[in-house]
Structure 1
Amino acid sequence: MQRWIMHLDMDAFFASVEQLDHPEWRGKPVIVGGQERGVVSAASYEARKYGVRSAIPVARARKLCPHGIFTRGNMARYAEISRQIMALLGNYSPLVEPASIDEAYLDATGLERLFGPVEAMAQSIKRDIKASVGLNCSIGIAPVKFLAKIASDYNKPDGLFMLRPEDVPAFLEALPVAKIPGVGNKFIVELESLGVKTCGDVLKYPQGFWARLFGKSGEALWRRAQGLDSREVETGYEAKSESAENTFAEDTDDMALLKKWLMKQSERVGRNQRRMGVKGRTVTLKLKYADFTSITRSRSLPEPTDATEVIFRIACELLDGVKLQQKVRLIGVGLSNYGKGPEQLNLLDGSAGGQTGGMVATAKQRSLDRTLDSLREKFGSKAVTRGRLFDFDE
């Protein structure tokens, strides 16, 4: 039986949701980003015509597209629509793996009897998503996961690209190695120094050659160049981490202000964990100085948590342990290490000194989190504010 994997990618997801919710913005360049000194989270296709892309500084985006519509975005709204899309995919296959908020893998193997040819099934999914949430998506179909992901980038936006087994060798022969998921910029530079630009170039050398030069990464590259990928669609997929960060309008070394931001971010992270029903053991603090150098500090807990207060207290302790070398332009907090046993903590916590501080949520803290979550779900994210944030002005 032929194996078929689909990769679904929502087109300019955040920006498209904003255009959906603001009809007057449709057909106009919409740029989703944070504060002036932050980075672009998403850009509509109208904005991309001006060179605006995700991850570039908002200030640069304003220069490229001064007439663009800039918005901070609404993560709760994006998550809501993402859940609707993932639920819809579950109507087609029991094997669905969310890869991020705006993309997913689906195993379509053997479903022809229910939905017809796999290409027709993909068209049906695209129509259902459009009818259900009003958004376009692009779908790639291939025999393995990494090729399905690559295929979903073809014919964007609102695209569909199917890569059949007999077409894989010719497709890979000319495929730039930069298109392979996981091949980063540094690896590309090293490959180019060897005259390797395509998967066809990779296969000019035996597997042992790549293993000697780059170890496991080299072997993985060689396998991908042949179209090999044994990974299954993982229905038990869980997020690897959750984080929140903010770039300031002005650099600061005001510890009280930095801790208020940590409270705001810990609340966002904790609430998302509780919504997803997951908990993490490792809290990570991220700082970026005025000269753009970054540092991180982490600490692991004796048991996993989703409690806002616990995340916040650990983040503050980590901040207190940092001697600021200069003013800070960005601060963030993250939670990770889901489902790991205590015996693994030291391997993941080299920067923390193994301290735990007895940070376990009390019944009162858990009750407060549940009450605030419920009120915000019913009346909106700004309906209630913790005491520490009463005088906080973002």
Structure 2
Amino acid sequence: MTPVAYLYAPHLAADIVQRSDPSVARRPLAILAAPEEETVADCSWEATRWGVRSGTSLRQAHLACPGLEVRVCPDAHIQAHLATVWDALVRAGCLVEPDPPYGAFVGPADATAPEALASVVEQALPAVWVLGAGPTRLMAKAAALEQAEHLHRHAAAGRLRAGGVVVRVIRPDEARAFLEGLPLRHLWLCPDPIRDELIRLGFKTVGAVAALPGEALMERFGPIGWQIWQKSRGIDSREVLAAYPPPSLSRVSDLEGEALTWEQGDGLALRVRQWARALHAELQARTQVAQALAMRLWLRPPAMTLVETIRLGEDRQGAGSWEIVALHLLDRLRRQAEPWQASGARPHRLELVAAPIRPARPQPVPLLPRLSVASRQSRLHRALQAVTQRVGPGAVRPASERPLSRRESMLSLIEQGAGLP
């Protein structure tokens, strides 16, 4: 499997503000996302020595650290700085999959050594970065989180880093030992409620969870328990997705040579509807969805671009809904273009864009179809009769006649044909 890297800046917002404002350099600093906010969005390494953390109320932060400085750094400003780093990595030939708020999976790490990645990142945006590399996504991010915790302990002891990239590489021959000793709080794929319950039960490391039978975790936590057991053994086959820049699909048409006016828009409306259906069909074939539809219209002279965007919710992912949204976008552009057309501007190019694209959420497949209770009981009865005729009476008993665990009950229903079409 191709090695994966995970890049993470524990206090990126504070680092950005401290480098741009020398008056707060190397001082305890709290960052707010907006002036009216009362919750700390980020804090500097110096503030962590006083117990200030992200999510701390501003009042508690001032009580813990009387000399605390407060600055505002909007999220859009941080994302703009992150974009410079992601752009540099893309230019270096890496795949970038952002992991909000301040992290990203980077691959393939074998083509670009971790030290080379560190040099690219440090030149793009000087800050305190943590770079974890490992054979899987799980180990790469776990290594970065463990290294960030190590830096926080140094900060608490007064040994602060001025900047740079700290690299932690997990080689394949070290993977097993790394997971066995990894604190359970760094098993980031495990949901917080389940992790807290496992810690209360006395499991402190990932290796202790991996030593449990997978059936025991599934019986207690359901299907997510089986996934946790797999992750605790390092089973993670997911590759890094090229999610930056956000992928998009588009259809474009040159209107320069067409005798097109807004009054003769029926032909253009038909073309837009065909575009919407074609984009929807292509995404369906790729099991992806788009979060928004945008339409651009280029006019000249004078040269200008008009843009309209409509977000797509879960209830707007059908082909018919896409057609309606595309026609709404066209109507909006018509209204925008009316004053410019009156002054002599003419349509030059039209484009319909579906972006950003993300994988479609898998739809859970029910064990039994959505039928009435009577229909389910009848289907179970027929399935049980069919199995009984093949193996003989008394060989099969319904699940209701004996106490079974959740997993055994599900398997019994499947074996009896209940889950088959």
For this structure pair, what is the TM-score category when the shorter chain's length is used for normalisation?
0.5 to 0.7
SS in 2 for 1:90: helix
TM-superposed deviation, 1:12: 0.6
TM-superposed deviation, 1:87: 0.7
User: Residues 14 and 73 of structure 1 are in contact (CA less than 8 Å); yes or no, is this contact kept in structure 2?
Assistant: yes
User: Residues 217 and 226 of structure 2 are in contact (CA less than 8 Å); yes or no, is this contact kept in structure 1?
Assistant: yes
Corresponding residue number in structure 2 for 1:127:
119
- Residues 230 and 20 of structure 1: is their aligned pair in 2 closer, same or farther, counting only changes over 3 Å? same
User: Residues 7 and 149 of structure 1 are in contact (CA less than 8 Å); yes or no, is this contact kept in structure 2?
Assistant: yes
1:201 aligns with 2:170: no
Which consecutive residues of structure 2, in runs of 5 or more, have no partner in the other structure?
152-164, 247-290, 296-306, 338-421
TM-superposed deviation, 1:127: 2.7
User: Residues 35 and 58 of structure 1 are in contact (CA less than 8 Å); yes or no, is this contact kept in structure 2?
Assistant: no
- Residues 47 and 203 of structure 1: is their aligned pair in 2 closer, same or farther, counting only changes over 3 Å? same
User: Residues 292 and 309 of structure 2 are in contact (CA less than 8 Å); yes or no, is this contact kept in structure 1?
Assistant: no
1:50 aligns with 2:50: yes
- Residues 99 and 365 of structure 1: is their aligned pair in 2 closer, same or farther, counting only changes over 3 Å? farther
Corresponding residue number in structure 1 for 2:14:
15
Corresponding residue number in structure 1 for 2:2:
3
Q: What is the correspondence of 1:1-394 to structure 2 with a 5 Å cutoff?
A: 3-33=2-32, 34-35=34-35, 38-111=38-111, 115=112, 121-156=113-148, 157=151, 158-236=165-243, 304=292, 337=313, 341-342=317-318, 363=332
TM-superposed deviation, 1:24: 2.2
User: Residues 309 and 365 of structure 1 are in contact (CA less than 8 Å); yes or no, is this contact kept in structure 2?
Assistant: no
TM-superposed deviation, 1:174: 2.0
Structure 1 residues 189-198 or 208-217, which shifts more? 189-198
TM-superposed deviation, 1:363: 1.3
Which consecutive residues of structure 1, in runs of 5 or more, have no partner in the other structure?
116-120, 240-302, 312-334, 346-355, 369-394
SS in 2 for 1:190: helix
- Residues 365 and 105 of structure 1: is their aligned pair in 2 closer, same or farther, counting only changes over 3 Å? farther
User: Residues 187 and 206 of structure 2 are in contact (CA less than 8 Å); yes or no, is this contact kept in structure 1?
Assistant: no
Counterpart code for 2:84: Q
Counterpart code for 2:188: P
User: Residues 132 and 169 of structure 2 are in contact (CA less than 8 Å); yes or no, is this contact kept in structure 1?
Assistant: yes
- Name the CA distance, whole Å, in 1 between partners of 2:177 and 2:73: 42
User: Residues 29 and 69 of structure 2 are in contact (CA less than 8 Å); yes or no, is this contact kept in structure 1?
Assistant: yes
Corresponding residue number in structure 2 for 1:278:
none
Counterpart code for 1:202: V
- Residues 43 and 196 of structure 1: is their aligned pair in 2 closer, same or farther, counting only changes over 3 Å? same
- Residues 22 and 223 of structure 1: is their aligned pair in 2 closer, same or farther, counting only changes over 3 Å? same
User: Residues 140 and 162 of structure 1 are in contact (CA less than 8 Å); yes or no, is this contact kept in structure 2?
Assistant: yes
- Residues 134 and 365 of structure 1: is their aligned pair in 2 closer, same or farther, counting only changes over 3 Å? farther
Counterpart code for 1:96: V
Corresponding residue number in structure 2 for 1:386:
none
Counterpart code for 2:318: P
- Name the CA distance, whole Å, in 1 between partners of 2:210 and 2:143: 21
Identical residues among aligned pairs (%)? 23
SS in 2 for 1:89: helix
TM-superposed deviation, 1:225: 0.9
SS in 2 for 1:181: coil
- Name the CA distance, whole Å, in 1 between partners of 2:129 and 2:207: 30
SS in 2 for 1:231: coil
User: Residues 178 and 184 of structure 1 are in contact (CA less than 8 Å); yes or no, is this contact kept in structure 2?
Assistant: no
What are the superposed Cα offsets for residues 98-145 of structure 1, whole Å, 9 maximum, x if unpaired?
Answer: 12252111113541xxx5xxxxx3223323332332323110010000
- Name the CA distance, whole Å, in 2 between partners of 1:26 and 1:216: 48
- Residues 101 and 39 of structure 1: is their aligned pair in 2 closer, same or farther, counting only changes over 3 Å? same
What are the superposed Cα offsets for residues 254-290 of structure 1, whole Å, 9 maximum, x if unpaired?
Answer: xxxxxxxxxxxxxxxxxxxxxxxxxxxxxxxxxxxxx
What are the superposed Cα offsets for residues 139-173 of structure 1, whole Å, 9 maximum, x if unpaired?
Answer: 00100001101111244454211111111111211
- Name the CA distance, whole Å, in 2 between partners of 1:160 and 1:310: 41
- Name the CA distance, whole Å, in 1 between partners of 2:320 and 2:231: 31
- Name the CA distance, whole Å, in 1 between partners of 2:170 and 2:204: 21
Counterpart code for 1:341: Q
- Residues 364 and 3 of structure 1: is their aligned pair in 2 closer, same or farther, counting only changes over 3 Å? closer
| TM-score, normalised with respect to structure 1 | 0.58
- Residues 104 and 142 of structure 1: is their aligned pair in 2 closer, same or farther, counting only changes over 3 Å? same
Counterpart code for 2:317: G
- Name the CA distance, whole Å, in 1 between partners of 2:216 and 2:18: 50
- Residues 309 and 144 of structure 1: is their aligned pair in 2 closer, same or farther, counting only changes over 3 Å? same
SS in 2 for 1:159: strand
User: Residues 129 and 135 of structure 1 are in contact (CA less than 8 Å); yes or no, is this contact kept in structure 2?
Assistant: no
- Residues 58 and 363 of structure 1: is their aligned pair in 2 closer, same or farther, counting only changes over 3 Å? same
Structure 1 residues 181-190 or 74-83, which shifts more? 181-190
- Residues 188 and 102 of structure 1: is their aligned pair in 2 closer, same or farther, counting only changes over 3 Å? closer
Structure 1 residues 125-134 or 56-65, which shifts more? 125-134
| TM-score, normalised with respect to structure 2 | 0.55
Q: May I ask how many residue pairs the two structures share in their alignment?
A: 264
SS in 1 for 2:222: helix
